[in-house]
Amino acid sequence: MKIIMVKKKGCNPCKMFEPTIKDVAIENSLDFKAIKAEEMPEKMRPKYYPFFYLMDNDKLLESWAGISTRKMTKVLSRHIDNFIFNE
């Protein structure tokens, strides 16, 4: 599985939350990739940042926006057995 984070230049919540989501990916043996929104086609850019995609191979499992650790935990717990998050 892989977490893809879409971030935007000048987005302070993106900068603040990226280390957290990277650590979560490592602790749960997930791949992690950060993508700059400015490098995406405009019509594919999300409305809110940071924006996350949880992928399994090429299949989208779930997506969410924002830096809520509660939301992140709910999403990832639905898809990962024995999900680990150390605040």
Q: How many domains is the chain partitioned into structurally?
A: 1
Residue 85 has what pLDDT? Answer: 87
Give the chain's mean pLDDT.
95
- Residue 22 belongs to some domain of the structure: yes
- Residue 56 belongs to some domain of the structure: yes
The mean pLDDT of 8-19, rounded to a whole number, is 97
- Residue 87 belongs to some domain of the structure: no
- Residue 86 belongs to some domain of the structure: no
Domain span at residue 19 reads 2-79
- Residue 34 belongs to some domain of the structure: yes
Q: Which one, of 63, 9, 3, 5, lies nearest residue 38 by Cα?
A: 9
Edge-to-edge strand ranges of the sheet holding 51-56: 31-36, 2-7, 51-56, 59-65
User: Which pTM was predicted?
Assistant: 0.92
Residues 30-69 pLDDT 10s: 999 999 999 999 999 999 999 999 999 999 999 999 999 9
Is the model's pLDDT at 87 over the cut of 80?
no
